[in-house]
Amino acid sequence: MKIKALPVAIAMTTALSASLLVVSSFDNQAQAQENFRWKMVTSWPKNFPGVGQGPERLSQLVEEMSDGRLTIEVFGAGQLVPGFEVFDAVSDGTAELGHSASYYWKGKAPAAQFFAAVPFGMNAQEMNAWLSYGGGIELWNELYDDFGVDVLVAGASGVQMGGWYNKEINSVDDLNGLKMRMPGLGGEVMSRMGVAIVNMPGGEIFTSLQSGAIDATEWIGPYNDLAFGLHQAADYYYYPGWHEPTVMFEAIVNEEALAELPADLQAILRSAISDINQSVLDEYTARNNDALETLVNEHEVELRRIPDDVLAQAREHSADVVAELAESSELATRIYESYKAFQDKVVDYHAISEQAYYNARNPDGDTTQ
């Protein structure tokens, strides 16, 4: 009897296994077809050129690539939360996604400034290389572990301008007592040169400069500065942007929300963020010179080079500021050591590649060639 019952038992076991597979398949299909609605908060005015349009492109890409299974509503600074509260909003789950710059969170994680902009540090090309192939992004995520967010690099400004001033700067003495909007490590350097640093989101810059609440400001570069109309509030436009050889923008993602997404939607999100990382930088490269020509030729802005003594003192103070930040914690030390080691190597190669090519292209120092 036992022998006769064995085929029946095997058949029943097989049928049960098959049914479980079907149920599992249905569960997977149901998860794959589930729709997700996310909110994305940013530190920028809604649809602002370059940095503000990157999040909009991200939203469009994700919706198209996911066939509508993941949609992201983008909020500009102040629409859902203030621009300087983006990190907290993503950390506490008010929004699933944020787009900003990490030096705004120096009060929470001082070493985050290494991932935004380091005075006289690496440019966008070099930063992307460090983040992707030098261990930078892993250190960035380690820094944010305690806040319940993941981070991906999501755009870059390229080398910025040195700032707008309502008076000529001919020496370090001319900086003394100025009130200036400049975030991050660059702001700390300027404070050691006698400048009173004022922090504010981008949307407040124009009225503050026009009203005299500040005497000078840096923002990003000609493309964005023209859009803000900063030429209507200050006459003198200085270069180079020693304080921000680039700003790397960040996409911060709530860890719990990310874990709820199926694997394919997670991959789509990461791919779309990678796309805007390049496209934002490309847009700035394409638009900045046209905007600069408009500022100089149509609006008669005075384009000036920062005096050598100012640059020399800024370089000296920058070394101190960066060294002090590196000593602020064990993780900050590791981040700085990784950053510095990568910069030393890439600078050596760029000396005989990028920089040598620029010198060969412009042998007389004519930047118009």
Is beta strand 302-305 parallel, antiparallel or unpaired with respect to 236-239?
parallel
Task: Find out whether 343 is annotated in a ligand binding site.
Answer: no
**Alpha helices, DSSP H, located in 234-329:** 255-260, 263-293, 308-326
Count of all residues that appear for the chain in the document = 369
Task: Find out whether 140 is annotated in a ligand binding site.
Answer: no
DSSP summary character for residue 298: I
Sign of CA dihedral 116, 329, 317, 169: positive
- Rounded Cα distance between 42 and 249, Å, is 11
> For position 123, what pLDDT does the model report?
98
> For position 364, what pLDDT does the model report?
80
Task: Find out whether 298 is annotated in a ligand binding site.
Answer: no
Task: Find out whether 219 is annotated in a ligand binding site.
Answer: yes
Instruction: Report the b/e string of 111-128 with b at 16+ CB within 10 A.
Output: bbbbbbbbbbbbbbebbb
What is 32-100 written as a DSSP string? Answer: HH--EEEEEEESS-TT-TTTTHHHHHHHHHHHHHTTTSEEEEEE-TTTSS-GGGHHHHHHTTS-SEEEE
The answer to whether the CB of 221 falls within 8 A of the CB of 241 is: yes
Q: Give the distance from CA 163 to its chain's centroid.
A: 19
What is 145-205 written as a DSSP string? Answer: GGGTEEEEEEEE--S---EEESS---SGGGGTT-EEE--HHHHHHHHTTT-EE----GGGH
Q: How far apart, in Å, do the first and last CA atoms of the chain sit? A: 96
Residues (pLDDT < 50) of the chain are 1, 3, 6, 8-10, 20-24, 26, 368-369
Task: Find out whether 218 is annotated in a ligand binding site.
Answer: yes
> For position 29, what pLDDT does the model report?
56
Can you list the domains of the chain with their CATH numbers?
38-157+247-284 (3.40.190.170)
**Dihedral class, residue 144 (left if φ above 0, else alpha if ψ from -120 to 50, else beta):** alpha
- Rounded Cα distance between 157 and 244, Å, is 9
Main-chain phi, psi angles of 177, to 5 degrees? 90, -5
Main-chain phi, psi angles of 281, to 5 degrees? -65, -40
